[in-house]
């Protein structure tokens, strides 16, 4: 199951250059309704069609609360990616980073939900190196890609 969601995630990343901005009026009403019901405090809303999915980027609050959500044509939420702070990472991940990446700092941290699968993408940077590491909530490394 993890491979399935990882494959979907990689498709979203690799095909993101095919995104096309659209106006809210071009988004099916079921998708707009589901979005507005789930995120009534969303601001700075931007819609796109990306790889056959409707993608909405928005903010909630003022700091470090950027979100990206992908919906299918029926209005089902497929993927939710949101920026989080280091302190919101599970303890297992923070401990692993402290032990194995002590010469790195956290550049960006995201929580990604695809179906029932929850992962964390952490961008780690040193003076000479940069890594994108994806962890499961228990701290297991799912993938590690040099940036």
Structural domain boundaries in the chain: 2-76, 86-146
Predicted confidence band of residue 14 (pLDDT cuts 50, 70, 90): very low
The whole-model pTM stands at 0.82
d(CA 99, CA 117): 25
> Residue range 53-62: average pLDDT?
93
The reported pLDDT for the residue numbered 69 is 98
What share of the chain has pLDDT > 70, as a percent?
86
pLDDT bracket for residue 1 (50, 70, 90): low
| Residues 46 and 20: beta-carbon distance below 8 Å | no
- Give the number of other Cβ atoms within 10 Å of residue 146's Cβ: 7
Mean pLDDT, the chain, as a whole number? 89
Residue 29 three-state SS? helix
Give the pLDDT confidence score for residue 15 in this predicted structure: 45
Q: What is the CATH number of domain 86-146?
A: 3.10.450.40
Q: Which residue has the higher pLDDT, 147 or 78?
A: 78
| pLDDT above 90 as % of the chain | 82
DSSP 32: H
Question: Token pair for residue 44?
Answer: 């700075």
Indicate if 86-146 has the same CATH topology as 2-76.
Answer: yes
**In CATH, 2-76 is 3.40.50:** no
Q: Is the pLDDT of residue 43 over 90?
A: yes
């Amino acid at each position: 199951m993890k491979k399935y969601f990882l494959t979907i995630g990689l498709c979203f990343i690799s095909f993101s250059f095919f995104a096309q901005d659209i106006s809210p009026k071009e988004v099916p009403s079921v998708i707009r309704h589901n979005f507005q019901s789930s995120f009534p405090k969303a601001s700075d809303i931007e819609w796109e069609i990306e790889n056959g999915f409707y993608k909405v980027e928005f903010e909630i609050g003022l700091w470090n609360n950027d979100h990206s959500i992908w919906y299918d044509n029926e209005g089902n939420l497929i993927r939710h990616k949101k920026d989080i702070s280091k302190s919101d990472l599970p303890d297992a991940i923070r401990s692993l980073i402290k032990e194995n990446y002590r010469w790195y700092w956290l550049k960006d941290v995201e929580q990604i939900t695809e179906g029932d699968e929850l992962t964390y993408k952490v961008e780690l940077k040193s003076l000479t190196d940069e890594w994108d590491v994806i962890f499961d909530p228990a701290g297991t490394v799912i993938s590690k890609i040099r940036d």
